[in-house]
Amino acid sequence: MGVDVNTIFQIAGIGIIVAFLHTILDQMGKKEYAQWVTLLGFIYILFMVASIVNDLFQKIKAVFLFQG
């Protein structure tokens, strides 16, 4: 399948970086920027996961409809 360990580590790495930036910006008093960083990180991860789920559904469709 298309999901390997590198993808999982990439998602975890982005989450750690977003959490770090959120904490730094929050402590600097820039709560609005911290929220935007978190939102953008979440949207980026959401698109990555949507791509993975799309690949999964395409493979399931190919198995059950016998399409190569």
In a domain, 32, yes or no: yes
CB 34 within 8 A of CB 26: yes
* Each residue's pLDDT tens digit, 19-44: 999 999 999 999 999 999 999 999 99
In a domain, 1, yes or no: no
Q: Which band of pLDDT confidence, cut at 50, 70 and 90, is reported for residue 5?
A: confident
Question: What is the span of the domain harbouring residue 46?
Answer: 6-63
Kindly write down the DSSP assignment for every residue of 4-52, as one continuous string: -HHHHHHHHHHHHHHHHHHHHHHHTT-HHHHHHHHHHHHHHHHHHHHHH
In a domain, 68, yes or no: no
Q: Give the pLDDT confidence score for residue 34 in this predicted structure.
A: 96
Q: Give the pLDDT confidence score for residue 20 in this predicted structure.
A: 97
The pTM of this model reads: 0.78
In a domain, 10, yes or no: yes
Q: What is the mean pLDDT of the chain?
A: 90
How many domains, the chain? 1
Residue 67: strand, helix, or coil: coil
